[in-house]
Amino acid sequence: MCGIIGIVSKKSFSVKNDLLKGLKKLEYRGYDSCGFATKEGAVEKSVGEIQLLIDSVKDSTTTLGIGHSRWATHGGVTKANAHPHFNKDKTLFAVHNGIIENYQELKQMLEKNGYGFMSETDSEVIPHYFDYYIKKGLGIKDIMIKFMAEVKGTFAILLFRKEDGRVYAMKRDSPLVLGVCDDCFVLASDIYAFSDKTNKALFFDDNEFAIISSDYHFYNGNGKEIKKKIQNFEWSREEETKKNFEHFMLKEVHEQPAASRRLIESLKLMQKDALKSFAEAIKKSKRIFFLACGTSYHASLIGVYLLRKLGIEAHTVIASEFENFLAVDKDTLVVAISQSGETMDVVSVLKDIKKTGAKIISIVNVPYSTIQRLSDFSIEVLAGQEICVAATKSFTNQIVVMLAIAKELGFLINLDEIPGKIKKALEDNEEKVRKLALGLKDKKDIFVLGRGISYPIAREIALKLKEISYVHAEGMMGGELKHGTIALIEKGTPVISLIPNHNEDMISNTKEVEARGARTIIVSDTNGDLIVPKSHDAEFSIYACMIGHLLSYYIAKENKLPIDKPRNLAKSVTVK
């Protein structure tokens, strides 16, 4: 989940304007604490956002530095637990993304040999481990080979030795990429850290390590040098700003008309062949299993609904529970969905699935991500960079991809109308939602009801209310409410009802909760409190979700919550 960066340059660069600016682009991966270290041995850490660190330190120049933005796993949010970690002599510095599963054993071995620890983290064993074996007479490359063999768990690690001029990088499961710039190399958790400097990158595969100085050398886990191909990628070269919006979330909500149009045009042109390949793979497979987590799982539920309407057997399961529910074979098609393309729960399952011979295809936002590289082919949702932790425009574009695949298989829908209808849904409802949020800001419980294809959106709206507004919200099938949960409905309980095309069953469910005193909020394309453009049920999901995005935003704003960086969350979930 953490973000790591390292720069090795032929000429001096600014710690503030280059190293920390690049690290700030990765802050969506974790923002509990942060820190950096330079070739000269200078190290600074702080608790909180990176801007606080930028404002507190004097600028300096160096030719080598590493930085880290933390999402806490082992140990609380403290300055001592912040990265980089270092050895007693402050000659070895390391940053780490991942979890070292056998760190207790390593720590005990090091403590027996006189090493003391200042933090509660698993990551602090790294500099001490290297220090121990350097003093035993081993070279750093040999220690890297030993480390890769002995350490269990996941890691992307950058380590350097004071005044050495080289960064030592190791990767297993956690993402790591090397940007090749004109006068420097940039190591980072993802390409966004350096996309303003270059569009050339080398992507680490699992159990590889590299030594970066004035050039670079890659090795497999056994220490054999390997040749890596430079990849040219397309990604935003400009730093994302809020422009005239108060928060990135609201900006990204309002970018959805443009983002969806960009995707729809791409599916007609640049990604036309990929779309056809998706449809052909579905036709040829006996079973289709979607694999996703969180918001992407809700998009997969819509995919399953659409395929089943077309008479195609399809299932979905949350990735972390895949092994407990489903089995795959060579006749299975697995469709992985992930905004970041690095979701660890999905990645770990896909690695096992590849051994079965099953075909893997994927829907991702970030090009050259691990999930995309594990896939036989992929569609990119082209939502662009999302800074806010909550997925908005990437989720909408995932649904657009589902609709495009269904259309390729015979589903009747006009995709070209969607961007304009998204724009109208926002324009017609934003002020109404803002006023609605005033009356809901103190509510502790909100229920969201849906049926059929609106049920996944009920769950997605509830998720947004949880993660952004900190409201206990439940997205439910309208028909299931009376099988227990209706006992929680009392006078004034807010219930959001998603009613597409005058759905009589949903109208009945709404009347049931109204009879128990609920305060109902009807989202419909015919009549109600919030009206979205008239559309097919499948499209209604997109427009109704706009309401959820806006409502979670404005409730959070009324309560002065950290909208773009909600507590305990990170954008890219790279730990199990």
Q: From CA 576, how far away is CA 572, in angstroms rounded?
A: 12
Six token digits for residue 119: 């933090």
- Asked whether 53 and 34 are in contact (CB, 8 A), the reply is yes
Residue with tokens 């390409």: 191
For residue 510, CA distances in Å to 117, 353, 488, 504, 548 come to: 58, 43, 15, 10, 18
> Three-state DSSP class for 365?
coil
332 beta partners: 287
477 beta partners: 450
Task: Give the N- to C-terminal CA distance of the chain in Å, as an integer.
Answer: 10
Catalytic residue among 2, 34, 184, 293: 2
| 181 annotated active-site | no
Q: From CA 227, how far away is CA 479, in angstroms rounded?
A: 58
Positive or negative: CA dihedral 573, 22, 249, 55: positive
Residue with tokens 């759905």: 503
226 beta partners: 218
| 545 annotated active-site | no
- Using DSSP, how many helices (H) and how many strands (E) does the chain show? 17, 25
Task: Give the H/E segment covering residue 550.
Answer: helix 537-558
Q: From CA 520, how far away is CA 494, in angstroms rounded?
A: 6
Q: From CA 492, how far away is CA 205, in angstroms rounded?
A: 54
Q: From CA 449, how far away is CA 446, in angstroms rounded?
A: 10
Catalytic residue among 45, 162, 423, 571: 571
Task: Give the H/E segment covering residue 100.
Answer: strand 92-100
Task: Give the H/E segment covering residue 221.
Answer: none
Residues 6+ apart with CB under 8 A from 214: 8, 10
Which residues have a catalytic role annotated? 2, 571
